[in-house]
Every structure is written in structure tokens, then in C-alpha cells.
Chain A
Amino acid sequence: MRRPRKLGREVAVVGAGMSKFGMFKDKDSKHLFAEAFNEMLSTVDKGIDPQAIDALYLGNFTNDFFVHQGHWGPIISDLIGLTPRPATRTEGACASSALALREGVFAVASGFYDVVLVGGVEEMSKRNTEEVTQGLAMAAIPYEVKAGFTFPGVFGATATAYFARYGANREHLMNVTIKSHNNARLNPKAQFNLSIRDIMNQRIERARNRGEPVPDWKDEKEFLRDPRTNPVVAWPMHLYDCCPISDGASCVLLVAGEMAREFSDVPLYVIGIGQGSGKGLHAKEDLTCFEATRYAAQEAYELSGLRPEDIQIAEVHDCFSIAEILHLEDLGFFKPGEGYTAVEEGLTRLDGAKPINTSGGLKCKGHPVGATGTGQLVEIWKQLRGEAGERQVPIKNLRIGAAHNLGGTGGTCTFTILERR
């Protein structure tokens, strides 16, 4: 019906960096972006003069509301000395920096620019939980907000529909959480770089030191079943099903494919890029999938000529545990209704057949919303270049990695495939 998508010319990633993600009283958006930018510069194998950057695309969602400051493009452009070159802010809720990436890719592929910086920043922790919950809900659907839905609420309702349809239950969601924590334990940039077992041991130690009753959880699932340690946020989403409130920044440097080797010994080529939009809960044909993800994936697969089984590792948008399971299905990695059993069987673990969220995911690495999209690419960059340290996946001939980013309650979804040649 429509002609196949294509890029005007190849685009490559030649540098990638992120700040530490976490809650920082002493760091603001500018500081966080400077951290990410400095790390990015250090990853360009052959070096880059920042003055060679033609333009900046910057994702940010909530700073207007949380720190009462908008118009972040020029602020960050000035921070890193890019003025008077253009700076454009992109907003797609939690997918804001994935949209920055897409705009950057199109700008280079069109031939207009050769070197473009894309990234994102978010500063969320200076507000309390209720205010953050309300702020994020600005990206939900108005009818949902009025009915009292929060972000965790929308995903909680999605989970009840999924459970009823496929026979999954809360215990299956715990497998996602345990895996994410195990991965994040190996990621020094993660907000929570502790396994569930580490957290249990800490609590036991603390109780002992204080002379309080020592908890006797026999395993991680018993810890997660304990309402004192894992209270309900929006049933069946509990505290450990939800990503945290985070501050952070990330960025990647894009150049025209033909210039990639001038900057990098191991550039990664953007071979697939897709984006979709989706409806609210009331209008979705199917409550147990995200049409925007399916569309974005189809677009990226088509452009790359790849199939889901060709993706060797992926970062997916696990804002809530149930979301990771749905994305595994929507991206075609597993059949509908089989995502939760795949996780249970360990297929998505670091040493599994299809490692997912090796960074610890949004759940443990952290989710400074506007920084997440390009932050996911930082992990794929490290993995594909064999620089992920202790959490390097043991896949031989690792070549293809992908990142899936979701905004709002599924209103904006993107899928990006990178290739090492």
C-alpha cells in the first residue's frame, strides 16, 4: 500500500554517555547533562571536537512542572558551548529522548547535518511522590486521569486484564523484578545496584543490629509477598513492580555513516528505527497489548530487514513489571500470552537466550523519564562493543541490539535497532 521506509543515507552512533541515575539533592538538570556529555566525549574512540556538532535534539518531559522551567534546548546548548547552533526540544512523555534520537537520525539521513547530538534530561526527585504521580499523569489520557487512574494504575489494570486472559499471576511479575535487580547489581550507574537478596540481607542485618525481630523470608518471592516490604501501589502493581523517581541525563552522538570511522573504531549503525502512537484504555481494541509498540517494531524490522529472532539483546521499557512482559510479546520475541512463561524459564536473564534489560531496566537503573530513551542506547552501545564489564552478555558474535521506549500509557512507542559491523 505504502512504499517501504528508507533512510536517505546511513547514520551511525559514535559515542554514548549517561550520568549516574538516582535521586540527587545536589545535582540539577545542567549538572546531570554535563556528566552525560563528558562521558559521551570520552567514548568517541578517535576523539571529537564538540564544535563539530551541527545541532542538538533534547528530550525532556516534566521540567516545566517539576522545576518550573521550560525551553531546555538552548539552556543545554549553552551549557555545552553549542550556541548559536540550533537546539530543539522533543516531548513524548517518557519517550522524549527516543524522539530526539529519531529527529537526529532524520536530520543526518537527509543530508542536512553530518554530526548531531541527541539526548535527554529529567530532574524529578525534588518533588514528593504524590506530586510526581500527578505530574506524570499529565501524559495519560484525560478520561483516565478523571477516573482516578495513575500511571501505576493504568498498568495495574492492564495486568488484571492480562492475568484474566492468560492465567498469569503476581508471582510471574516477581520474576521480572528479581531479574532486573540481579542485572542492576552489576551496573554501577544504576539507582538500585542491589539484588533482591542483597536488600533482604541488609534488612536482616539492620533488624539484628537494632535488636528488632529478624525477618525470616526464605527466598526472594517471600520477601516480595511481604506487604511490609512490598506494599501495594496500584493493585497488582506493588512497590517492587514500579520504576523509581529518578534524576539523570544521557546522550549519544550521531554522524553520517560514511564518516563513522573518522570518529570511531567500533561505530554502531542505526539500521532500524520505528515509532507509533496509541489510544487510551477505553479505546484500545486489545487491553493486553500496545498497538504503538507493534507499529514501531514493524517499521524498524522492515527498515532493517530483520525479524524478532535476529535481535540478540534488547532494552525494553519496563516502567512496570507487567510492561516488560507485554513488550516481549508486542516486539515479537515471544507469542502473545507466552511472555510471562519465557521470563519464568529464564530466557530473558543475562545468560539466557534473549537477554532483556541487562542494565537493570527502568526498574533498577532508574527512570529519569526524558533521559531514558537515549539511556537505553548507552547500554546497547556498551554491550555491542563488549564494554559492559561484569554484566557483558555471554553471546558469541554479538552484533544486533535494540531498544524499546514507551511514553505515557502507551501513547508514544519507539523501537531502534543498532548493528555492529
Chain B
Amino acid sequence: MEERLFNDISYELFLSEDKLMGSRCRKCGVLFVPPRPICIKCYDGEMEWVEMKGKGKLAAFTCIAIGPPLMMKEGYDRKHPYVAGVVELEEGARVVARIEGVDGNKPETIRIGTPLQVEFLHRGEADDLVTFLAFRP
């Protein structure tokens, strides 16, 4: 695991293994999620992988009624909107993710600051397998 390159390909691979990973600069200790190959704080460090605990809170959200074909295929449409959001992790970094377990038709019931727990949504099969990062209350 430690030998994986610090890039989005590795990040996606970790997601498929139910792990939300970031990279931390060994020199200055700053954390990046998703991982960055370069420390943009000190430009000097080597990176190491760090697993997030998967707890956070909702920082921003939207309920999307008109989505891309990918989401339409999953059964979402103008009558069944899905929710996407920005989640602030306990470790301090933020990620963008799908928000499950909330009602996209009732946005007034969704509150900024709601505590959330990570979830990994595995979709497709074999070579088309893809994992979506998600959170739910």
C-alpha cells in the first residue's frame, strides 16, 4: 500500500477498497485529500499515505434535478433529485461527495453542519467497476 504513487489513480484504487486516503507531507505535515504528488506548502517533502477516519460534517450541498447521463442511468431525474455536497472531514480537509440518506426533494430538511459518516458506493461490474465516495448522516 505504501508504494502506491500519490495520484488520482491510487486514490480511486483505495476508494474501491473502501478506504478514503490522503497524502501527508513528511516534512511539514500538511494533509491533502484527495492526495497531491507535491507539497504546495513547503515544496520540499516526501509524501506518505494517511487513511481518513471517515467522519465529517456537511459544509455545502445541492439537490440536483438535471444531472449528467451517468446519474440519470442510476435512476435519478427531475422527480428524483440526488444530493451532492462538500464534506469537512474531522482531519480538517474537505472532500466533494454524494450525500446519501437525505431527501433531495426536501432540501429545507438538509442542514449545513450535519455530522456524516463515509460510505463507498460500488457500481458497475468487472472492468467497469467504479466506486463513488459518499457520506450519510
Chain A residues in the interface with B (C-beta under 8 A): 129-130, 133-134, 137, 141-150, 152-154, 156-161, 164, 231-237, 280-284, 287
Kindly list chain B residues whose C-beta atoms are within 8 Å of the C-beta of A134.
Answer: 68-69
A141–B78 alpha-carbon span in the complex (Å): 24
Minimum CB–CB distance for B32 against chain A, Å? 8
8 Å CB contacts to A: which residues of B93-137? 93-98, 104, 107, 112-113, 132-133
Chain B residues in the interface with A (C-beta under 8 A): 8, 33-34, 59-72, 78, 81-82, 84-86, 93-98, 104, 107, 112-113, 132-133
Minimum CB–CB distance for A130 against chain B, Å? 6
Kindly list chain B residues whose C-beta atoms are within 8 Å of the C-beta of A137.
Answer: 68
Say whether A234 contacts B96, CB under 8 Å: no
Kindly list chain B residues whose C-beta atoms are within 8 Å of the C-beta of A287.
Answer: 59-60, 86
* A-B contacts besides A129-B66, A147-B98, A148-B67, 4 pairs, CB < 8 Å: A147-B133, A156-B64, A157-B84, A159-B62
A134–B104 alpha-carbon span in the complex (Å): 20
Residue of B nearest to A238 (CB): B65
A-B contact pairs, 17 of them (CB 8 A): A130-B72, A133-B66, A148-B68, A149-B84, A150-B67, A152-B64, A153-B64, A156-B62, A156-B64, A157-B84, A160-B112, A231-B65, A234-B64, A235-B81, A281-B96, A282-B94, A287-B59
Kindly list chain B residues whose C-beta atoms are within 8 Å of the C-beta of A235.
Answer: 62-65, 81, 104, 107
Say whether A157 contacts B107, CB under 8 Å: no
A148–B135 alpha-carbon span in the complex (Å): 13
Say whether A142 contacts B60, CB under 8 Å: no
Which of A133, A142, A234 has the largest number of chain B CB atoms within 10 A? A234
Say whether B60 contacts A158, CB under 8 Å: yes
**Which residue in A133, A148, A164 is a CB contact (below 8 Å) of B84?**
A148
Sorted nearest first, the 4 A-B pairs with minimum C-beta distance are A156-B62, A235-B63, A161-B60, A157-B60
A312–B51 alpha-carbon span in the complex (Å): 52
Minimum CB–CB distance for A244 against chain B, Å? 13
Say whether B112 contacts A232, CB under 8 Å: no
A322–B86 alpha-carbon span in the complex (Å): 17
Say whether B68 contacts A234, CB under 8 Å: no
Say whether A133 contacts B86, CB under 8 Å: no
Say whether A236 contacts B107, CB under 8 Å: yes
Kindly list chain A residues whose C-beta atoms are within 8 Å of the C-beta of B133.
Answer: 146-147
Minimum CB–CB distance for B106 against chain A, Å? 10
Say whether B34 contacts A143, CB under 8 Å: yes
Say whether A147 contacts B112, CB under 8 Å: no
Kindly list chain B residues whose C-beta atoms are within 8 Å of the C-beta of A146.
Answer: 132-133
Say whether B65 contacts A232, CB under 8 Å: yes
Say whether B68 contacts A130, CB under 8 Å: yes
Say whether B66 contacts A234, CB under 8 Å: yes
**Which residue in A144, A147, A236, A280 is a CB contact (below 8 Å) of B132?**
A147
**Which residue in A149, A153, A160, A231 is a CB contact (below 8 Å) of B78?**
A231
A214–B120 alpha-carbon span in the complex (Å): 49
Kindly list chain B residues whose C-beta atoms are within 8 Å of the C-beta of A142.
Answer: 8
Say whether B78 contacts A157, CB under 8 Å: no
Say whether B112 contacts A161, CB under 8 Å: yes
Kindly list chain A residues whose C-beta atoms are within 8 Å of the C-beta of B33.
Answer: 282
A153–B60 alpha-carbon span in the complex (Å): 11
A236–B61 alpha-carbon span in the complex (Å): 9
A158–B113 alpha-carbon span in the complex (Å): 14
Say whether A232 contacts B96, CB under 8 Å: no
With contacts A142-B8, A148-B84, A282-B86 taken as known, whether A133 is within 8 angstroms of B67 at the C-beta atoms is yes
Say whether A234 contacts B94, CB under 8 Å: no
Residue of B nearest to A156 (CB): B62
A231–B81 alpha-carbon span in the complex (Å): 12
A144–B87 alpha-carbon span in the complex (Å): 12
Kindly list chain B residues whose C-beta atoms are within 8 Å of the C-beta of A141.
Answer: 96
Minimum CB–CB distance for B56 against chain A, Å? 12
Residue of B nearest to A148 (CB): B84
Say whether B86 contacts A161, CB under 8 Å: yes
Kindly list chain A residues whose C-beta atoms are within 8 Å of the C-beta of B68.
Answer: 130, 133-134, 137, 145, 148, 150
Kindly list chain B residues whose C-beta atoms are within 8 Å of the C-beta of A231.
Answer: 65, 78
Residue of A nearest to B96 (CB): A147
Minimum CB–CB distance for A134 against chain B, Å? 4
Kindly list chain B residues whose C-beta atoms are within 8 Å of the C-beta of A282.
Answer: 33-34, 86, 93-96
With contacts A148-B64, A282-B95 taken as known, whether A153 is within 8 angstroms of B84 at the C-beta atoms is yes
Kindly list chain A residues whose C-beta atoms are within 8 Å of the C-beta of B67.
Answer: 130, 133, 148, 150
A396–B94 alpha-carbon span in the complex (Å): 48
Minimum CB–CB distance for A141 against chain B, Å? 8
Minimum CB–CB distance for A167 against chain B, Å? 12
